[in-house]
Amino acid sequence: MEFFYSLTPSKVLDTVDAALGSGRRTTGRCLTLNSLENRVFDLELEDDSHVVAKFYRPSRWSREAILDEHRFLHDLQAAEVPAVAPLPLVDGSTLASTDDGILFALFPKVRGRSEQELTDAQLEHVGRFLARIHSVGASAAAPHRLRLTVEHYGEPALASLVDSGMIDIQLQSRYARAATAILRITKPLLQDGEALRIHGDCHLGNLLFHHDAPLFLDFDDMLVGPPVQDVWMVVRGRDAYAQAQRERLLSAYQTLRAFDRASLRLIEPLRALRMLHFSSWIARRYADPIFPRTFPEFTSYRYWLDETTALEEQLGLIAAGPPAQ
């Protein structure tokens, strides 16, 4: 990890120049972009274009898992879905490594605006493109990617959290009890139904818009799981307004692909799994200096009281069953 933390602009520029080959070179302008998980840089090239260099955090994804992501992105690009695929490198591949063994890829820099809330037209555009993403996702396997199941996604997250010792001791039993009950109820719900390549982290921060047309970014958390995961991540609320938004998105989705509406019952279980996985992610990264600065309350009693209360509320919602749609 020391090489990952000590990536300097000079090292980045030399590495990218070698990967690009003799036809294209960087100018020396290197801007570090915000990213907690990977090291990401905006680099200017001599032809005035820009590339984004992503250096993957060691030991998170295997080479094969990253290539599964790249294949999905190129499949989407071939199907004319607006997703940002990695660029070919000098050896024809899309994934290379530094002398220190850090895997990296280059992506074209794209522009657009981020939205806090989507208009009806934008929801319809996103719905149609999600249908196309899932159709492409169903066309091939991703054997090395994480599966969105209790066994692969939920249970390891809870185990690593308990083992970390970072849950406040006064709340650990209560937190684990709520999480265990959620996993027990959720496990059979995720055993049946469709599981395919999905974005996995399709929140509004990973969408850019040009007029009303979306561009899908950052497939770093690509999963194999149910399509409803991408749907609820776009429309995250549970009130009547959110249900109306989700219905508009799904109506557009269903003009291009069938959607199993029974899978809407998975929204609250999937929301709980994400909460559990997110806290586990912070705990696993807390030795990285940026994480205590970004999440200073993580080790506090207040943080874990809020998380425990939220999980207990989720458990109540899951046990009560889905609301009428």
Instruction: Determine contact, residues 4/38, Cβ cutoff 8 Å.
Output: no
Percent of the chain with pLDDT over 70: 98
Has residue 325 got a pLDDT over 70? no
Residue 5 confidence (pLDDT):
73
From 91, 163, 212, 218, active-site residue: 218
Residues 18 and 144 in one domain: no
Q: From the CB of residue 268, how many other CB atoms can be counted at a distance below 10 Å?
A: 24
Which of 108, 128, 153 terminates a domain? The answer is 108
Which of 61, 82, 108 terminates a domain? The answer is 108
Active site residue 218: yes
Task: Provide the domain count of the chain.
Answer: 2
Helix/strand/coil for 29:
strand
Has residue 323 got a pLDDT over 80? no
Is residue 114 in some structural domain? no
Has residue 242 got a pLDDT over 80? yes
Residues 304 and 242 in one domain: yes
Active site residue 288: no
What average pLDDT does the segment 37-41 reach? Answer: 94
Residues 133 and 100 in one domain: no
3-state helix, strand, coil in the chain (%, to 5): 50, 15, 40
Relative orientation angle of helices 267-285 and 172-189, to the nearest 10 degrees: 130
Residues 77 and 148 in one domain: no
CA 313, CA 113: separation in Å to the nearest integer? 34
Question: Could you read off the pLDDT of 58-80 as tens digits, one per residue?
Answer: 989 999 999 999 999 999 999 99
Residues 297 and 178 in one domain: yes
Is residue 113 in some structural domain? no
Q: Count CA atoms within 13 Å of residue 2 on its CB side.
A: 0
CA-based R_g, the chain, Å? 21
Listed in sequence order, the residues at least 6 apart from 174 whose beta carbon sits closer than 8 Å to its beta carbon are 308, 312
CATH number at residue 310: 1.10.510.10
What average pLDDT does the segment 158-186 reach? Answer: 96
Residues 245 and 162 in one domain: yes
Has residue 13 got a pLDDT over 60? yes
CA 289, CA 273: separation in Å to the nearest integer? 26
CA 188, CA 28: separation in Å to the nearest integer? 53
CA 84, CA 77: separation in Å to the nearest integer? 8
Q: Is 59 left (phi over 0), alpha (psi -120 to 50) or beta?
A: left
Which of 50, 78, 108 terminates a domain? The answer is 108
Listed in sequence order, the residues at least 6 apart from 192 whose beta carbon sits closer than 8 Å to its beta carbon are none
Is residue 325 in some structural domain? no
CA 122, CA 126: separation in Å to the nearest integer? 6
Instruction: Determine contact, residues 122/32, Cβ cutoff 8 Å.
Output: no
Least confident of 110-114, 225-229, 249-253: 110-114
What average pLDDT does the segment 119-135 reach? Answer: 97
Residue 322 confidence (pLDDT):
65
Question: Could you read off the pLDDT of 270-303 as tens digits, one per residue?
Answer: 999 999 999 999 999 999 989 999 999 999 999 9
Residues 316 and 218 in one domain: yes
Is residue 62 in some structural domain? yes
Domain of 23?
Answer: 2-108
Residues 251 and 135 in one domain: yes
Residues 87 and 136 in one domain: no
From 68, 201, 220, 230, active-site residue: 201
pTM over 0.75: yes
Has residue 324 got a pLDDT over 60? no
What average pLDDT does the segment 40-56 reach? Answer: 94
